[in-house]
Amino acid sequence: MSTSVKRRRLLGRFISPIWMVLIAVVIIAAFISDRFLSPYNMVTVLQQGVVTGIVALGMTVVLIGGQFDLSTGAIVMMAAVMALVIGPSDPASIALAIILPLMSGAFIGAVNGLVVYKARANSIVATIGMQFFLFGAVLAGVSGQHVRTDNMAAGFSGLANAKLFGIPLPVYLFVVLVVVLSVVMDRTVFGRHVYGIGGDEEASRRAGIRVVWTGTLTFVLSGMLAALSGIFIASLVGNVDPSAIGGYAFPALTAVVLGGTSLSGGMGRPSDTAAAILVIAVINNVMTILNYQYPIQLLVQGVVLAGAVAFYSLRRVELAP
C-alpha cells in the first residue's frame, strides 16, 4: 500500500467524504437561497432529518453486519399507532406509551434476527415479510381508521415538540444516539464483532464469535430505534392515518447507502449515516423553499445517490489492498 493511500485512509478515519459533501451542499444551498441559513430554517433542517435519521441509524448497524432490515417502516407505524391507542394522558400511560412500543420493536427485531441468523433466511425477504405482517396486523387492529389521542398529556407531546435553546429535544437525542452508537461500533467487542460478521460471516463463526447472538442484537437495536421514531411521530402530530406513515424504510436505507455503508456489509459508520441524513434534509429543504416540484426533487436525489454509490465503489477499488 502506498503512503499516499495510507495517509488518505488515515484522514478518512476522521473526515469521511459524506461530511465534505454535506459542507458542499450547505454552501450551495446558502448561495441559491438567501433564506436558507436563517436560524429558523436551520432548526427545520435538523428537525426534518430526525424521524428518518433514527430509523437509518438502526439500519446502518444491521447493514454493517451484512443484512437488511426493511421491516423498519412498518415498525415505525406500529409504534406510533400503539402509542396513540394507549393514549398518553397521565404519567402511567405516558410510561406505557413509551415502553410498550419500544419492547414490541425489540421483540420484532429479535424475531427478525433469529429468522435471519439462526434460520439463515434471506434478510430482504424475511424483513419484507415481517413488514407485510405488521402492516396487516396494525391495519386490521384499527380497521384502517385514523388513530388519535385527544387528551394527550403535555409531557408526551413535549417529547417531540419541546425545545431547549430553540432546538427541539429529538435533535439532541439524535446527536446522543449518534455518539453512543459510534462509540459502541468503534470501541466495544460487540461493535467489532458486527464488523467481523459483515466482513465474513463464516470466518467470524470459525473465530468463535457468537454470530447468532450478535447478529440478532443488531436487529433488536434496529427494531427499537424504529419504534422510537414512531413514538416521536405520535408525539409530534397526535393523529395519524396509519397507511401514510409506513414508508420510512426506503428513505432511511437511501441515507445509509449515501453515508457509505457497504451493501455487502463490514463497512460503514453511524456518524456518516447522520451526515447523509443531513445532506438529504438540506437538499429537500432548499428545493422546497425554492418551490421546485417533486419530479425535479426526485431527479436531484437520484443524481446525488447514484453519484455517491459510484464514488464509493471506485474508492473501494482504489483502496483495495
Partner 1 sequence: MRIFGKLLRCSVLPILMAIPLAASAEPIVIGHSQPNLGWPYIAAFSNALEAAAKNAGDVEVVTLSADGDIAKQSTDIASLVNRKVNVLLVTSLDANAVAPALKQAHDAGIPILAVSNEPAKVAQDFLAGFSGPDDYVQGRLAAELLNEALAGKGNIAIIEGSPGQSTTLARTQGLKDRLAELKSGITIIGAQTADWNPVKAKDVAQAFLTAYSDDLAGVFAQDDNSGAAAAEVFKAAGRSDIKVVGTGGTINGLKAIKEGLVYGTVEQSPAKDAEQALKFALALAKGESLPEKRNVIPMAKITAGNVDQFKGEW
**Footprint of partner 1 (CB under 8 A):** 33, 35-36, 38, 40-41, 44, 47-48, 51, 135, 139, 143-146, 148, 150, 161, 233, 236-237, 239-245, 247, 284-285, 288-291, 293-295
Q: How far is the CB of 291 from partner 1 (least distance, A)?
A: 4
Among residues 157 and 182, whose Cβ is nearest to partner 1? 157
Q: How far is the CB of 55 from partner 1 (least distance, A)?
A: 12
Q: How many residues are present in the chain?
A: 321
Q: 289 and 96 in contact (C-beta within 8 Å)?
A: no
Measured torsion, CA atoms of residues 287, 289, 295, 299, in degrees rounded to the nearest 10: 0
Q: How far is the CB of 186 from partner 1 (least distance, A)?
A: 31
And the C-alpha cell for 139?
A: 391495519
Question: Please, what's the largest Cα pairwise distance for the chain?
Answer: 64
Q: How far is the CB of 113 from partner 1 (least distance, A)?
A: 27
Q: How far is the CB of 296 from partner 1 (least distance, A)?
A: 11
Among residues 181 and 286, whose Cβ is nearest to partner 1? 286
Q: 253 and 259 in contact (C-beta within 8 Å)?
A: no
Q: How far is the CB of 165 from partner 1 (least distance, A)?
A: 16
Among residues 81 and 97, whose Cβ is nearest to partner 1? 81
The residues with which 168 forms a beta bridge, in sequence order, are: 163
CA–CA separation, 297 and 4 (whole Å): 38
CB under 8 Å to 29, separation ≥6 — which residues?
36, 282, 283, 285, 286
Closest CA to 105 of 146, 59, 144, 149: 59
Q: How far is the CB of 84 from partner 1 (least distance, A)?
A: 11
CB under 8 Å to 198, separation ≥6 — which residues?
63, 64, 65, 66, 262, 264, 265, 266, 267
CA–CA separation, 135 and 130 (whole Å): 9
Among residues 167 and 309, whose Cβ is nearest to partner 1? 167
